[in-house]
Amino acid sequence: MRAITKQFVRENLLGLSLTLIGVGLLALAGVLYFGQHTYGQFALAEGAGLDGPDIDNLVRADQAYERIAKSVTPSIVAIQSTQVIKVQQSPFFSDPFFRQFFGDMFPQVPREQRERALGSGVIVSPDGYILTNNHVVAHATTIEVTMSDHRVLKGKVVGADPMTDVAVIKVDGKDLPTVPFGDSNNLHVGDTVMAFGNPFGLYFTVTRGTVSALGRAGGAGQIEQIQNFIQTDAAINPGNSGGALVNVRGQVIGINTAILSGGSGPGGEGGFIGIGFAIPVNMAKHVMEDLIKTGKVTRGWLGVEIGGLNDALAKQFNVPDTSGALVQNVTPDGPAEKAGLKAGDVIRKINGQFVENQDQLTAQITNLNPGSTVTLDILRDGKPMTIKATLGERPSNLGLRAGVGAAPSQGTLRGITVQNLTPAIRQQLGLPSQVHGVVISDIDPNCPAAQQGLGQGDVIESINRQPVNSVADFNRLAGEAKGNDTLLRVNHQGQSVFVVIQGSSGDDGGDQ
């Protein structure tokens, strides 16, 4: 029995061993087979690709975009600006309503707070002139410029123009890489463009898109007062401001300035949603040249108040469509009146270029030098006429739209934008009829007036004891408030209070 059992076990062990050996050999063969099969697939995937003339065209297009990026990127810079703000320890005690009861019973010790901003710029001359946005360097106390080769240079503001959001800064250098200017008047909807800059601190980023529209205005908030934007779907994000918008010839045709965003903050503090704006380079170039040459910008002035057309107005003035700018008022003894323009005329072309709307005409006029002669094609009662006008110089405090004004950038009241106190606004604010003045419609949160508690909806009744009954009064008196302390009487939440906006000796506006 034992012998049979031992023999049975030996036979079964032998069979089991042979079986395991066979299974192992089969498994090894399978691994080798499938391994070779899989390797062959991977090798095929790595080596395969589409071919043909159409694919070759796409490859050549990619190579062209790579060439543009390689050519332009060395001329792009990252700009980091630092602003020192003096704030009070207790904002509550600086409220004008509180101070009218307690005065200076509670002394306030100012403290310094540093704010940093990141933007972009474009080198436009070998000796270090850089074109950027005003809002990138506004109120900056220090500016650092990072080059594409990682050098960090100190920059200084040569000049800035809040009306177009253009600024020029300078670094010490020679033989710096530059990018050529194009002609933004030759842009067309559908053209391919590339945006260069430093979004969210990701240095030297390039995106690509198309020109979505031209002559845009109003869509990018209140950054500019002269608005004639290029709209693009090339991705522009915070930090891209001041960077270059470039055409397929590697020429700058715009300066990135703003976006529409899904975020709730002003100026598009959220992310890019496909709508970005750039300042046409022809406008930026004109401003830049004036700032470098004289430190200020001189602009052409026609001497008219203009508005847009809708279907009803077009019908009333016998105009075939809604393109053009409707002359609403003519300034007495101004260039337009001397040339023969009248209220009710519709300006359709300027120097042979079509006028789509009033903002486009404003931008074209202000982009010309005083003394320039312009040819205007107009419709008067439906009849075509041609008028030649010699432009004057635009007054520095002239509001672009009727009833709107802004304090000059070089003054104690800088950063304040106002509009006339209309019956509708009076009703909205709940103000009695005896309150007269201009209402603050926009205010820079970092300006001296904002630091004293002024904000949107406050009504400025007087400046240095002089009554303010209109935007014209505000423009005149604000223009005189330079350097010294300025006394305002302000209606703040229904209460009239006096507020002193402190100036400083040698105040040159704080921006330059």
Q: Which of 102, 90, 253, 236 is nearest to 185 (CA)?
A: 253
> Is residue 485 over pLDDT 50?
yes
> Is residue 161 over pLDDT 50?
yes
Candidate list 81, 120, 139, 165, residue with the active-site label? 165
The reported pLDDT for the residue numbered 221 is 38
pLDDT tens track for 284-295? 999 999 999 988
Question: What confidence category does residue 36 fall into, taking pLDDT thresholds of 50, 70 and 90?
Answer: low
3-class secondary structure per residue, 253-278:
EEEEEEEEECCCCCCCCCCEEEEEEE
The reported pLDDT for the residue numbered 351 is 92
Q: Position of tokens 């992310």?
A: 271
Q: Position of tokens 């419609």?
A: 441
135 is catalytic: yes
Residues β-bridged to residue 65:
none
Cα(393)–Cα(409) distance, rounded to whole angstroms? 18
Candidate list 184, 241, 441, 462, residue with the active-site label? 241
Residues β-bridged to residue 417:
406, 442
71 is catalytic: no
427-448 exposure pattern, b = at least 16 Cβ within 10 A, e = fewer: eebebeeeebbbbbbbbbeebb
Q: What percent of the chain has pLDDT over 90?
A: 37
511 is catalytic: no
Residue 206 structure tokens: 């390039």
Residue 251, sorted as left (phi over 0), alpha (psi -120 to 50) or beta, turns out to be beta
User: Which residues, at least 6 apart from 232, have a Cβ–Cβ distance to it below 8 Å?
Assistant: 193, 195, 209, 210, 211, 212, 245, 254, 276, 277, 278
Q: Indicate the range of 41-50, 128-137, 289-298, 462-471 predicted with least confidence.
A: 41-50
Candidate list 75, 81, 135, 184, residue with the active-site label? 135
> Is residue 492 over pLDDT 90?
no
Question: What confidence category does residue 89 fall into, taking pLDDT thresholds of 50, 70 and 90?
Answer: low
